[in-house]
Amino acid sequence: MSIIDTYEEILQGKRKRFPKGTWNFSSDGVKLVKYLIEEKLQWSVEDIKKRLNHKVFKKLKLGGMLEYVFNNSPYAALDAAYPGQFKPWELQQTPQGFWTVEMGIVATRWLIEEKLCWSIIDLKHLLCVNTFNDNNLGGMLYIVFDKSPYSAVNAAYPGKFKPWELNKTPLNFWNRAAGIEATRWLMQEELKWSDEDIKDKLSGNTFAENGLQGMLHTVFNGSPFAALDAAYPDKLKPWELRKVPQHFWSLETSVDAVRWLIEEKLKWSEMDIKKSLSESIFVRNNLSGMLQHVFKDSPYAAINAAYPGKFKPIDFKGKPKTNHSKR
């Protein structure tokens, strides 16, 4: 009598149990698993993934077979019957003690490359906790990677992604050190900007478009210059960017800017100042806003604030603007 016929007699109540020594041959167990799934249950692949568990084997009189032949593992039984067709995590329950860092890495790679077939862009834009939950890997993420999608991805692809490249950064990730690292990465690796590019292009949108808006607000109070100055201390002045920080201009900061313009940027002598100073000099050096707001468009008022009493209005070519309004 075949193992299938014996099993049918047990199901029909003609026998109480399988004959002694039946499970000495694991091939009989494989035959029964295939018969159970294909003939008795007539399950599809999705049915198997969603419904196969210990209770199914016990209910259909195969609990002993599962224990003796497959060490009480529904997945071991399934994999013996259909080698390589299913991953352990595709079932509703993985084997006890299954999840290790190594297996978490294997599962994460499978999820990204085989199940979802995601590109790098897809991964950056779409990966989140629900990605793992929806693919029966929420338990793995919790056990192995402390519920962090980034930790899972970084383990699977070491150093390939930065935390801020994903849709969400890990909870409480941002601090000053991480903000500095992210700003340097943005300038040097992602955008590959020169100093002139930074001066011409840097703005809040630069950070927003590269997934760093939250960092900018959390760490640097929304100031692109504060982020830049933290990453590259004293490399650029606030007024060298397209926009200075809000409420930046005061008499003190304006004096610093005028002295920087004359002494560091232009390297002018006193004679150069007298011959060449004009509104256009401030415009060309991104200081027209400062000149307007602080010195009412008067180059002389600006130079006199920076170098009190050193120059007279008559020293300048043309008639300089002066501020006659009362303070």
Instruction: Give pLDDT tens digits along the chain (327 positions).
Output: 889 999 999 999 998 889 888 888 778 899 999 999 999 999 999 999 999 999 999 999 999 999 999 999 999 999 999 999 999 999 988 888 899 999 999 999 999 999 999 999 999 999 999 999 999 999 999 999 999 999 999 999 999 999 999 988 888 899 999 999 999 999 999 999 999 999 999 999 999 999 999 999 999 999 999 999 999 999 999 999 988 887 899 999 999 999 999 999 999 999 999 999 999 999 999 999 999 999 999 999 999 999 999 998 887 755 445 443 332
73 and 19 both lie in a single domain: yes
11 and 70 both lie in a single domain: yes
The total number of structural domains in the chain stands at 4
In a domain? residue 228: yes
Last residue of a domain, one of 240, 263, 284: 240
* 283: its two tokens: 């415009």
181 and 155 both lie in a single domain: no
In a domain? residue 326: no
In a domain? residue 259: yes
The residue with tokens 């960017």 is 241
In a domain? residue 145: yes
In a domain? residue 168: no
35 and 63 both lie in a single domain: yes
Last residue of a domain, one of 51, 70, 90: 90
84 and 106 both lie in a single domain: no
Torsion on CA atoms 287, 284, 304, 245, rounded to nearest 10: 10
307 and 263 both lie in a single domain: yes
**pTM, rounded to two decimals:** 0.74
Burial 146-158 (b: 16+ CB within 10 A, else e): eebbbbbbbbbee
Last residue of a domain, one of 114, 138, 161: 161
In a domain? residue 124: yes
> For 167-176, which contacts have Cβ atoms below 8 Å and span 24 or more sequence positions?
167/124, 167/125, 167/126, 167/127, 167/128, 167/211, 168/128, 169/214, 169/215, 174/214, 174/215, 174/218, 174/219, 175/219, 176/219, 176/230
259 and 292 both lie in a single domain: yes
By residue range, what is the domain housing residue 305? 251-315
In a domain? residue 323: no
